[in-house]
Structure 1
Amino acid sequence: MGLSDDFKDFCDEIQITDDEAGKWINRLESIAKKLNKKYYDSTSNRDHMVVVGSIGRDTAIHGVSDWDCIFSLPQDVFDKFDDYDSNGQSALLQEVKKEINFLYSRTDIKGDGQVVVVSFSDGVIELVPGFEQSDGNYKYPDSHDGGSWKITKPIPEQDAATEMEEQYWIQV
């Protein structure tokens, strides 16, 4: 049973365009390069950056409003902020915000709970400063209620989305 041309057209229209993806990837790479320079003395524009959320799961559509990512920081950075008497999590978000602000000084950037939000006129990047754990999950800051550390598991989420796509994918 074939799919209608209308449905095929609809599927084509909701795909993220190459230009759209390229613009956001360039922004993410610029941020990764800036943070790699600060935290790893590296000029890599890809290392330590993990794209998550709908983009990372490959479920986003054209015009997606936010690009979510985790930037994996070294253990000594965790130790530094974990040693704070109160809300080192907020201080971590502010430090990362400050670094990104050097890159995008005319852009609205704020630390917000668990993320650094970089607001562009056409969407936002929500960057989580995280710490990769031995099991592949990430510890991240939550600055609410005096601060705490939480765990997120983006890789199993991405793997599950890929498995579902492979199991139920329809050729259009």
Structure 2
Amino acid sequence: MEKEFNQFIEKITLTTKQKDEAKTKYTGVCKKVHDYYYDCNYDGSTKFLFGSYKLKTNIRPITKDQDVDVLIKLPQETFEKFNNYQSNGQSALLEEVKSILKEKYTTTDKIKSWGKVILLQFEDSTHNIELLPAFEQDDNSFKIPNTENGGSWEVFNPRAQIDAFNESNKNSDGLTRKICKMVKKWRNFTTSVSIKSCSIQDWAIDFLASNKVDQLEIEEILQKYFEFIRSKCSSDNKSYVETVLKRIEKAINYIDDGEENEASQEFRKIFGNEFPLVEDSSKTNSFDNNIFSTPRPWLEN
């Protein structure tokens, strides 16, 4: 059912318009902060996109929980300023960035800060931004604020995560990204499942690194992926993984029996109606037989 799976992935991939809308939003946010801290014009070099929008594993329909993860690089002197605070300069930094953004984004949008980031929730609830103020280090990692427990600085290295994903995706001929998209769709469709996107991505990388799948069909790869994560996910999610494994097994049996309509119906139970429904071959054959069995009196003696 390779054709149906490719159609399914296309249906859940963000459209060009949606990608452009997201880019407009995170560019506007980063430019506003950049213009406050730098004298030079904004050219995008102080922005660093990471997470699902960078890895292109985000899916549609877009939900209010899908955030754009973006980092804004701040000058070293800004770090020195807030590092010299007697207590929780990290919290003061987030509050300063939040106040900068409030100049541009009015009361129609919600802006709040907690932990390490500033969250901008837009009125349309799409492509909300999680902005992470950061200070680039010589080793290409970033120093980021953590406001909890009195405040501290932490090391964050998104480049290593991105490189690991891109290498896996290249070596698997795009399979890493496809797995992530499909599993995210299952998670979103199965509303009681609570698995983080970063876990889905890390598991996909580990799964493909430790399993030879190039001779398998896509449905068999999915089956093995869920078998792989069964022991890794929390007890709250394990029953949902068991359910999806039973449905995949049932679908594979239908495929082996040439009953792809029934198989596609099983996949719809996993992914929702975005998965294409294969035409019922028995109905098609019945229709064809009716055509050929139509009385033809002109051939009678």
**CA distance in 2 between partners of 1:79 and 1:66 (Å):** 30
Distance 1:170 1:157 in 2: 17
Query: How much has 1:59 moved relative to structure 2?
Result: 2.1
How far apart, CA to CA, are the structure 1 residues paired with 2:55 and 2:100? Answer: 27
Q: 2:2 aligns with which of 4, 13, 19?
A: 4
Query: Where does residue 134 of structure 2 map in the other structure?
Result: 130
More strand by share: 1
Equivalent pair of 1:57/1:157 in contact (CA under 8 Å): no
- TM-superposed CA distance for 1:91, in Å, is 0.3
Tell me the alpha carbon deviations over residues 16-73 of structure 1, each in whole angstroms, 9 at most, x when there is no partner.
1111111111111111211111111233152301011111223222326110011010
Distance 1:78 1:35 in 2: 15
Q: C-alpha offsets along residues 87-146 of structure 1, whole Å, 9 cap, x if unaligned?
A: 000000000011111111121001111000001122421000000000001100000010
Is the 1:33–1:42 contact (alpha carbons within 8 Å) kept by the matching residues of 2? Answer: no
Question: Take 1:149 and 1:4, find their aligned partners in 2: how far apart are those partners?
Answer: 47
The 8 Å contact of residues 110 and 116 in structure 1, kept in 2 or not, is answered as: yes
Task: Confirm or deny: 8 A CA contact 1:89 1:148 kept in the other structure.
Answer: yes
Q: 1:157 pairs with 156, 161, 179, which one?
A: 161
The 1:97/1:170 distance shift into structure 2, 3 A limit, reads: closer
1:84-99 map, 5 Å: 84-99=85-100
* Long gaps (5+) in structure 2: 179-301
> Are 1:18 and 2:16 counterparts?
yes
Supply the AA of the counterpart residue of 2:120.
Answer: V
The two structures, once aligned, show a CA RMSD in angstroms of 1.6
Q: Where does residue 81 of structure 2 map in the other structure? A: 80
Taking a change above 3 Å as real, the CA distance of residues 108 and 20 of structure 1, as seen in their structure-2 partners, is same
1:142–1:150: 8 Å Cα contact kept in structure 2?
Answer: yes
Cα–Cα, structure 1 residues 170 and 78, in superposed 2: closer, same or farther, change >3 Å?
closer
2:36 alignment partner, one of 38, 45, 70: 38
Q: TM-score, normalised by structure 2?
A: 0.54
CA distance in 2, matches of 1:77, 1:66: 26
Indicate the residue corresponding to 2:120 in structure 1: 118
Percent identity between the aligned chains? 34
Question: CA 1:73/1:7 → structure 2, altered by over 3 Å: closer, same or farther?
Answer: same
Aligned length: 170
CA distance in 1, matches of 2:48, 2:174: 28
| Rounded Cα–Cα distance in structure 2 between residues aligned with 1:42 and 1:13 | 41
AA at the equivalent of 1:146: G
Q: Higher relative contact order at CA 8 Å, sep ≥6: structure 1 or structure 2?
A: 1
Letter in 2 for 1:109: I
Which is worse superposed, 145-154 or 40-49?
Answer: 40-49
Conserved in 1, the CA contact under 8 Å of 2:95 and 2:113? yes
The one-letter code matched in structure 2 to 1:84 is Y
Question: In the alignment, is the contact (CA less than 8 A) between 2:22 and 2:127 conserved in 1?
Answer: no
Gaps of 5+ in 1: none
If the length of structure 1 is used for normalisation, what is the TM-score? 0.93
